[in-house]
Structure 1
Amino acid sequence: MSCKLFLLLEYLALSSVILFQLEPRLGASNNITRCIDEEREALLTFKQSLVDEYGVLSSWGSEDGKRDCCKWRGVRCSNTTGHVKVLNLQTSDHEFARRKFLKGKISPALLKLRGLRHLDLSKNDFGGGSPVPEFIGSLSKLRYLNLSCGTPSSKIPHPFRDLSGFEYFNVENSNLFSVGSLERLSHLSSLRHLDLSCINLTKSSDWFQVVSQLHSLKTLVLRSCYLPPINPSFIWLFNLSTSIETLDLSDNHLPSSSVYPWLFNLSRNILHLDLGFNHLQGSIPEAFQHMVSLRLLSLASNELEGGIPKFFGNMCSLNQLYLPRNKLSGQFSELIQNLSSGCTVNSLEGLCLYANDITGPIPDLGRFSSLKVLKLGENHLNGTINKSLSHLFKLETLSLDGNSFTGVISETFFSNMSNLQILFLADNSLTLKLSHDWVPAFQLKWLSLASCKMGPHFPNWLQTQNQLISLDISNIGISDTIPDWFWDLSIELFFLNLSNNHISGKLPDLSLLKSDDIVIDISSNNFDGPIPPLPSNSTFLNLSKNKFSGLPDCWLNFNSLSILNLANNRFSGKIPDSMGFLHNIQTLSLRNNRLNGELPSSLKNCSKLRVLDLRKNALFGELCHLAFIQVLDLSLNNISGKIPKCFSNFSMMIQEKSSNPIIGLANEILVVPGYIYYFRYLDNVLLTWKGSEHEYKSTLGFVKYLDLSSNKLCEAIPEEITDLLQSFNASVYAGNLELCGLPLPNKCADEESTPSPGRDDDANTVEDEDNQFITLGFYVSLTLGFFVGFWGVCGTLMLNRSWRYGYYNFLTGMKDWLYTAAAMNKSNLQTKFRVSLG
């Protein structure tokens, strides 16, 4: 035992010696792999300039467990020097869809990261500062810069001229070159990726020449740049054919004549081509067939006609074909036959023919086994949905909404769709028969089943869908209460539409919803009780046509709210003062409730209000200072006294045209890579026009409307408001028994006896006597006599030269006298008319 103990002690001693000898080396190695103190402090200073609402940088800290900045999220260090060489805080697509991004300013503390080569802060919101600060140009080792999705404008820093080693440059949406040339970029000779999307290049007539000098360029993205047309004389002088692989010129309103000549001179090596949202016309050119390496082609939102050319069927590399929002026509079976005639049937992963004029039923698509995205919505397709779709095992997006499909869909149809994330079946005549205990194989993120037949019970299978961020099950025939599990499930939702059902019960606390820019529409149901706490980060709240009571005073922090509709409920009491803190509100509807009391003066702070509907309550008071108001309905209330002259401040009602014809929300959201979901939700208002009610939705922005009828207004209608708008007929003032003046038929008591200011009675009497002879008959007689006399002597004058000369002088004098007399009498009549109105 003692021998073993001795050997053990000797082993431990030897181990200690070895460890002691290795310790300096291990320590040195640790010093190299751990981040440098100065750079850690710089990163912490950078973090302090940001607003991190969702804990994106929770791993960044100064406490012992978080001191090694090389292990922080988005930070990568050199294995040899320890310097930070990569800072990548790009928001992921999943986070971006949920509006989970950083905000704030880009701190110059980044200058201390002297070894930084890669900087990516894209898909965040740095609206408070410049997206390309001057100091960025001083990071001499920087090779990769991505600051896309910045919002303010700035100028490109001069130091960028010397960064010839730049390889990746993305400053999308920063308006850098709105006033000048792109010439500075021509010095970036190593540039391989250039993205200037959403930058106004209207005045950059040299854009084509500059990018053509970037001989290393592989990717060029100039989406939404207002590009001036390409000068045909330059097309053959500059050649990108040796390098370009990805080209995006979408949303520039370029005509075919400007795009095609250059486009078809491009290399056969081009892989991705996006020409969407331009003015391409006619049929799809056959010249596309020479792009044998093409993988993605988008010609969305143009004016293309005809069908899908047969040559697409032989493009073996093509896997994404996006042709939505054109004028393509023909039977769907014929279009598919052209695509399935060759090798494309095996490679095609995305087919988007959304919003065209395609007709007929869906043919067998089983051969397209690689399909992941199939968008056929808003066409004229009919019949039942082909069962072959259920064999598309890789399908992630299925959009068939807005057609004329009929029939029944059961759960077996979805049994093989385990990858499905987006499902749009809305606005068809479909019946979904899904068992109460069905557990789908998929996890959906976007679901729209509006107007399908699914009731009367709330769909229990939704309990399994815990990744939903957008849900529309409006008008599906639910006459049930909402189970408690649903509200726990929907915490990540940013879009929820349960409208036009018969759902009853009370709403729970919705303030825990995490997303930004939330849209909630639960209108036209049977919800009752008080309104629960609502998410303050909402942009659209429609709770109208329910049985809610008790209007909460909780609107202080709803800074993003644009549309609030609480009409046709049972709210009583006063309008809360906190509604005056809705600084971004455009539409506020409280019509047909039981509200009373004085209109809160705080509403004057709602300076962006375009629609205010308070019809059928018991309110009184005044409203002024709403410069953007264009629809104001105060009818059927208790408003008394005179009509305020300050209504003339409603300057938007004077303008004939509206700068924004649509009142609502319009966003574009990246759903999956390569696919943008255009989200639009319009406000609608019910207005009384010539005795009947009309709903305005897509044209609401054109409406100019004021209704003061059925109140207790009195005295004369102010002359100041008669300049406001086309709808000011008698009906908008009707029901105010003591109101008088034009355009009402009843005149005010002193309307005819009031003397004209600045004139005495004798002057008025003389003026009336002078003008009693100036009647319509006088002008008719004068004109008739003149012409009869003229033509009576005309023949004589033509025969006798001396008479003609003499009579010419006479007529010249007569003309001058008549002109003077007519002008004076016209002036007198206008003065008399103004006096009678005064």
Structure 2
Amino acid sequence: MSINDHKLVRCNEKDKETLSIFKKGINDSYGLISTWSTEKDCCAWKGVSCDNITNRVTKLDLTSLPYFDLKFPTYFKTLTGEINMCILELEFLSYLDLSNNDFDVISFTTIQHNITHASNLFYLDLSNNFVPSTLQMDNLDWLSPLSSLKYLNLSGIDLHKVTNWLQAVNTLPSLLELQLSRCYLNNFIINPSIQYSNLSSLLTLDLSANNLTSQLPNWFFNLTKDLTELMLPENNIHGEIPSSLLNLQNLRYLDLSYNKLQGSIPDEISQLANIQHLGLEYNMLSGSNIPSTLENLSSLNYLSIGRNNFSGEISENTFSKLSNLDFLDLSSSNFVFQFNLDWVPPFQLSYLHLENTNQGPNFPSWIYTQKSLQSLDLSSSGISLVDKNKFSSLIERISIALYLSNNSFTGGLPNISPNAFSVDFSYNSFSGSIPHSWKNSKDLQSINLWNNKLSGEVLEHVSDWKQLGILNLGENEFSGTIPIKMSQNLEVLILRANQFEGTIPTQLFNQSSLFHLDLAHNKLSGSMPECIYNLTDMVTFTWQDSFEHVGSIELFTKGQEYYIPKLFINRKTIDLSANNLSGKVPLELFQLVQLQTLNLSHNNFIGTIPRTIGGMKLIESLDLSNNKLSGEIPQSLALLSFIEVLNLSCNNFLGKIPIGTQLQSFNVSSYIGNPYLCGAPLNNCTTKEENHKSTENEVDGSIRESLYLGMGVGFAAGFWGICGSLFLIRKWRHAYYRFVDGVGDKLYVTLMVKLNSFRRN
């Protein structure tokens, strides 16, 4: 008898049956709810909570909530399969959270049409299941019995077929918080005959990242007077900000960013005395009335109005009453900044974004007074002059992200905070080597030093950055060999256009997370490592998320440079061009089937293109030009339907270019410099060119035939040299017979002696 048999089973059988039906649709590959099979008492199952008195199930929490660390976001393993809404039949259920899993189906097939038992439910969260979302709902009529519901989050579920979503949630008289972000909701639709009084208690409304393309209607701000949080970013809302917004006098959080709003910010917005968070960035707002509009919002701690069309002066008067300000974003604006050199702001910022503004040539002196900065972005702001002592002190304090790219900074790189995890000093004129103190920044996740005048070796630094995911040292004068020890988290490595020499270390092809490798334009030599390429992210599909805190990066692909701000990378690339590499290209390289760009041009590679290249179905850019490759172009190359850039020129390829929709679409420049290559788009194959392959084959065949013939002749000559002589010369023949008779006699005598000896014993 097991220990479990002695435990008190207090779970209600009806509740247990409902939970068991719910579990049938779940795929639990990681054993996250293994206790549902090993424990008899369902109140002891993972995620299940029961009332201590009634023993009825009151709470089901199976969220696989990601652990968000600003520096190292990680994701727990999740449940998959079906959400069976029979779970709402749990009579005393008050809390249901199935968020942040990978469910891809939601089923109402077994649920009763009238869910009377769900009247106790006050918290329901089905959000963030599967990215991109495949969860769909055709209607929200099932919500109507949930009269006690206060919190509803369906974010990430496809509701594009639900045209009456507003009417559906209006049936929930207790609703305080409604989150419907990324639900593919269409324009605001309202039935004027319906009274929306049930929404009067709503405090939080999140409709971000939908397909709302209309203007903001005035009635929308009359639904509730008590709203404290309104989130409408990442839609296509256009028109002006309506004055009816001022009806929301209790508003603390307003986010209208990433839309197409026009006009100016209403002066009346200063009447929202409780506003703490104001996000209006990435719109088409204009005007120069910012000072009078915002200077009275004394509760404001977050102000983001960058990337609009504002103009006019901005001075210390704008911020004189904003003593609570913690986050300030004025980036990509045409403001004329008129701050006194001795101005000391009334606030201490944690985040400051002034990229793409005209701050220079002097570093803004008021920023030196900010003692709590965690993130500073002054990229492309025209700065060239700094107070060295104050500047060094400031930089060493910034503990998260530091972006100073596209300015005119000179001298050596500054020391950085030991807690820093992202630095971008690209496109400046920094010189010298990487400071030794950078070794102490163990948490560095991203380094971008592209296009400076830096030099020296980097070996001693790289091995200390255990968390590094992105390393961009391109367009400098770094030398030495490529470091052998690197972070196992490395995803992007760019060493392009430096003075690195030696061979490519084998360890580099054992970086399972690496998906962008650029070693082009160096002095690397030797052959490529012949080993198992454990570049997992180049073999199997993985979702590459965006990195919001790693600055920008330069990717060379398809023969040109792509500049990607706030890095969103899904380009899987290997670029080893313009080195002195030689030998055969390992077959393992052509097994990286997720590669989109492969550039091996301007080296000394030999050998042929393997047939397995046809398995690289996602390849978009392939450059093998200016090598010593030979043989035919394999027919499988014609199967690469996504290829947009192809260059096989200046090699020793021969025969006819395979016929396929892609290969004939490229111009002559993709194939020139191969004297024995023919077929469209080159000239039609002549008899000479067509016969070159057969000539090659004939030569090969002649060699083989000569070899076999030589072996045959040699055998015959040896055979007749001996046997023929015995046959023709009588003395030799008699001597041969006497020799054979003598050997036979000796064998006979030896055998008889041994036999007699054996018998005597």
Q: TM exceeds 0.5? A: yes
Task: Tell me the distance in 1 between the aligned counterparts of 2:612 and 2:310.
Answer: 55
Give the structure 2 partner of residue 445 of structure 1. Answer: 374
AA partner of residue 455 (structure 1): S
> Aligned pair in 2 of structure 1 residues 553, 477: CA closer, same or farther (>3 Å)?
closer
Q: 1:562 aligns with which of 487, 491, 499?
A: 491
Give the structure 2 partner of residue 137 of structure 1. Answer: 48
Task: Tell me the distance in 1 between the aligned counterparts of 2:659 and 2:78.
Answer: 39
Task: Tell me the distance in 1 between the aligned counterparts of 2:83 and 2:247.
Answer: 45
AA partner of residue 356 (structure 1): N
Give the structure 2 partner of residue 617 of structure 1. Answer: 579
AA partner of residue 705 (structure 1): V
Give the structure 2 partner of residue 529 of structure 1. Answer: 456
CA positional deviation for 1:245? 1.0
Give the structure 2 partner of residue 729 of structure 1. Answer: 667
Give the structure 1 partner of residue 346 of structure 2. Answer: 416
CA positional deviation for 1:521? 0.9
Decide whether the 8 Å contact of 1:613 with 1:634 is kept in 2. Answer: yes
Q: 1:649 aligns with which of 615, 622, 643?
A: 615
Task: Tell me the distance in 1 between the aligned counterparts of 2:408 and 2:670.
Answer: 38
Decide whether the 8 Å contact of 2:522 with 2:578 is kept in 1. Answer: yes
State the secondary structure of the residue aligned to 1:528.
strand
Match status 1:212 vs 2:150: no
Task: Tell me the distance in 2 between the aligned counterparts of 1:585 and 1:633.
Answer: 16
Decide whether the 8 Å contact of 1:526 with 1:547 is kept in 2. Answer: yes
Task: Tell me the distance in 1 between the aligned counterparts of 2:531 and 2:647.
Answer: 22
CA positional deviation for 1:347? 1.8
Show structure 1 runs of 5+ residues with no match.
1-37, 39-103, 118-132, 657-684, 689-700, 758-838
Match status 1:284 vs 2:216: yes
Task: Tell me the distance in 2 between the aligned counterparts of 1:646 and 1:176.
Answer: 36
Q: 2:249 aligns with which of 295, 299, 316?
A: 316
CA positional deviation for 1:717? 5.7
Give the structure 1 partner of residue 291 of structure 2. Answer: 363
Task: Tell me the distance in 1 between the aligned counterparts of 2:576 and 2:280.
Answer: 43
Decide whether the 8 Å contact of 1:301 with 1:325 is kept in 2. Answer: yes
Q: 1:707 aligns with which of 615, 632, 647?
A: 647
State the secondary structure of the residue aligned to 1:751.
helix
> Aligned pair in 2 of structure 1 residues 138, 221: CA closer, same or farther (>3 Å)?
closer
* Pairing of 1:300-699 with structure 2 (within 5 A): 300-330=233-263, 332=264, 335-340=265-270, 343-344=271-272, 346-361=273-288, 362-364=290-292, 365-391=294-320, 392-407=322-337, 409=339, 412-418=342-348, 420-431=349-360, 433-434=362-363, 440-457=369-386, 460-461=390-391, 463-464=393-394, 466=397, 468-483=399-414, 486-487=415-416, 489=417, 491-507=418-434, 508=436, 513-515=441-443, 518-532=445-459, 533-534=461-462, 535-554=465-484, 557-558=487-488, 560-602=489-531, 604-606=533-535, 608-609=537-538, 610-620=572-582, 621-622=584-585, 623-653=589-619
CA RMSD of aligned residues (A): 4.2
Q: Which moved more, 1:173-182 or 1:291-300?
A: 173-182
Task: Tell me the distance in 2 between the aligned counterparts of 1:717 and 1:385.
Answer: 69
Task: Tell me the distance in 2 between the aligned counterparts of 1:459 and 1:452.
Answer: 20
Task: Tell me the distance in 1 between the aligned counterparts of 2:491 and 2:656.
Answer: 32
Decide whether the 8 Å contact of 2:596 with 2:621 is kept in 1. Answer: no
Decide whether the 8 Å contact of 1:522 with 1:543 is kept in 2. Answer: yes
Give the structure 1 partner of residue 203 of structure 2. Answer: 271
Task: Tell me the distance in 2 between the aligned counterparts of 1:598 and 1:401.
Answer: 47
State the secondary structure of the residue aligned to 2:184.
coil
AA partner of residue 277 (structure 2): G
Decide whether the 8 Å contact of 1:219 with 1:245 is kept in 2. Answer: yes
Match status 1:148 vs 2:86: no
Task: Tell me the distance in 2 between the aligned counterparts of 1:325 and 1:739.
Answer: 53
State the secondary structure of the residue aligned to 2:410.
coil
CA positional deviation for 1:191? 2.4
CA positional deviation for 1:552? 3.0
Decide whether the 8 Å contact of 1:654 with 1:723 is kept in 2. Answer: no
Task: Tell me the distance in 1 between the aligned counterparts of 2:441 and 2:118.
Answer: 46
CA positional deviation for 1:503? 1.3
Match status 1:256 vs 2:187: yes
CA positional deviation for 1:269? 1.4
Deviations 1:552-583 (A, max 9, x none): 3435652x333221100101111111121123
Structure 1 vs Structure 2: percent identity of aligned residues?
Answer: 26
State the secondary structure of the residue aligned to 1:624.
helix
AA partner of residue 183 (structure 2): N
State the secondary structure of the residue aligned to 2:310.
strand
Give the structure 2 partner of residue 52 of structure 1. Answer: none
> Aligned pair in 2 of structure 1 residues 223, 317: CA closer, same or farther (>3 Å)?
same
* Pairing of 1:107-126 with structure 2 (within 5 A): none
Give the structure 2 partner of residue 225 of structure 1. Answer: 157
Task: Tell me the distance in 1 between the aligned counterparts of 2:361 and 2:195.
Answer: 46
Show structure 2 runs of 5+ residues with no match.
4-29, 53-57, 67-75, 539-571, 627-640, 696-761
> Aligned pair in 2 of structure 1 residues 328, 637: CA closer, same or farther (>3 Å)?
same
Task: Tell me the distance in 2 between the aligned counterparts of 1:228 and 1:347.
Answer: 34
Give the structure 1 partner of residue 20 of structure 2. Answer: none
Decide whether the 8 Å contact of 2:506 with 2:531 is kept in 1. Answer: yes
CA positional deviation for 1:482? 2.5
TM-score, normalised relative to structure 1: 0.62
Decide whether the 8 Å contact of 1:408 with 1:432 is kept in 2. Answer: no
Decide whether the 8 Å contact of 1:134 with 1:157 is kept in 2. Answer: no
State the secondary structure of the residue aligned to 2:412.
coil
Decide whether the 8 Å contact of 1:349 with 1:371 is kept in 2. Answer: yes
CA positional deviation for 1:157? 8.7
AA partner of residue 649 (structure 1): G
CA positional deviation for 1:526? 1.8
Task: Tell me the distance in 2 between the aligned counterparts of 1:749 and 1:459.
Answer: 77
Decide whether the 8 Å contact of 1:183 with 1:210 is kept in 2. Answer: no
Task: Tell me the distance in 1 between the aligned counterparts of 2:187 and 2:195.
Answer: 10
CA positional deviation for 1:377? 1.3
State the secondary structure of the residue aligned to 1:194.
strand
State the secondary structure of the residue aligned to 1:401.
coil
AA partner of residue 148 (structure 1): L
CA positional deviation for 1:519? 2.1
Decide whether the 8 Å contact of 1:631 with 1:703 is kept in 2. Answer: no
Task: Tell me the distance in 1 between the aligned counterparts of 2:241 and 2:33.
Answer: 51
Q: Which moved more, 1:186-195 or 1:290-299?
A: 186-195
Q: Which moved more, 1:607-616 or 1:141-150?
A: 141-150
Decide whether the 8 Å contact of 2:468 with 2:490 is kept in 1. Answer: yes
CA positional deviation for 1:732? 3.3
CA positional deviation for 1:358? 1.1
AA partner of residue 313 (structure 1): L
Task: Tell me the distance in 2 between the aligned counterparts of 1:494 and 1:726.
Answer: 48
CA positional deviation for 1:715? 3.7
